[in-house]
Amino acid sequence: QDIVFATNNSHKLEEIRRIFGGKFRILSLKEIGCEDDIPETADTLEGNAIMKARYVKQHYGYDCFADDTGLMVNALDGAPGVYSARYAGPGHDSVANMSLLLKNLQGITDRRARFVTVIALILNGVETTFEGQVEGRILTEPHGADGFGYDPVFQPDESDMSFAEMSADAKNAISHRGRATEKLMAYLQTVD
Ligand code: ITT
């Protein structure tokens, strides 16, 4: 069975395809002819994930799932959170987002943070959400060249490396997205 992953982020697609197996084949938005800039204007991760999934279902007719992810930093009262993609402003890239984060945490000793992913699934007319989290800390400078987004500055509690220093499989085994995807896959095994 085909299921669409409603993301424009090629790194997310790669991570989730690596975890997925079995009877579902993951299609990208490109593969269904969608190059739209899908709106994500809700103020929660769950709201945005559902918004992206509903958009694809409504406009393209496919059963699908979408991922919305945020980095919540303790000392910044949970920022950048749901605004993680545009922390440094619209049109800014991950490097700018990371630089601003490091600047805002300069001299702050509480580096606690967590990544949260919410996946929203629309399948056979039913909407379901799945959440995954990982606790860790924000490093004082970027480490590693793999991964994407905030990976070079995030070190999960389970490791002494940043996500960007870990292999894709090692990141998936403990990450927010890996954990949410495991729940999604378990659910998919129960439906036919
Ligand atoms: P889609 O909405 O098309 O799925 P996006 O990149 O806009 O892709 P989000 O809205 O979920 O994704 O934005 C989350 C932000 O957090 C964005 O800046 C990402 O680069 C970053 N991010 C998401 N997952 C991450 C991960 O596993 N590691 C590091 N940074 C991540």
The percentage of residues in the chain with a pLDDT greater than 90, rounded to a whole number, is 92
The percentage of residues in the chain with a pLDDT greater than 70, rounded to a whole number, is 99
ipTM of the complex as predicted: 0.98
Active site residue 68: yes
Q: Which range of residues forms the domain containing residue 29?
A: 2-190
Q: For residue 106, how far is its CA from the centre of ligand 1 (angstroms)?
A: 23
Question: Which of 16, 67, 69, 175 has most ligand 1 atoms within 8 Å of CB, for mutation?
Answer: 69
d(Cα 138, Cα 152) in Å, to the nearest integer? 9
Question: Which of 4, 5, 9, 98 has most ligand 1 atoms within 8 Å of CB, for mutation?
Answer: 9
Would you state the pLDDT for residue 24?
83
pTM above 0.80, yes or no: yes
Q: Domain count for the chain, please give it.
A: 1
Among residues 37, 68, 157, 192, the one annotated as catalytic is 68
Annotated binding residue 167? no
CATH of the domain at 21: 3.90.950.10
The pLDDT tens digits of the residues spanning 120-177 come to: 999 999 999 999 999 999 999 999 999 999 999 999 999 999 999 999 999 999 999 9
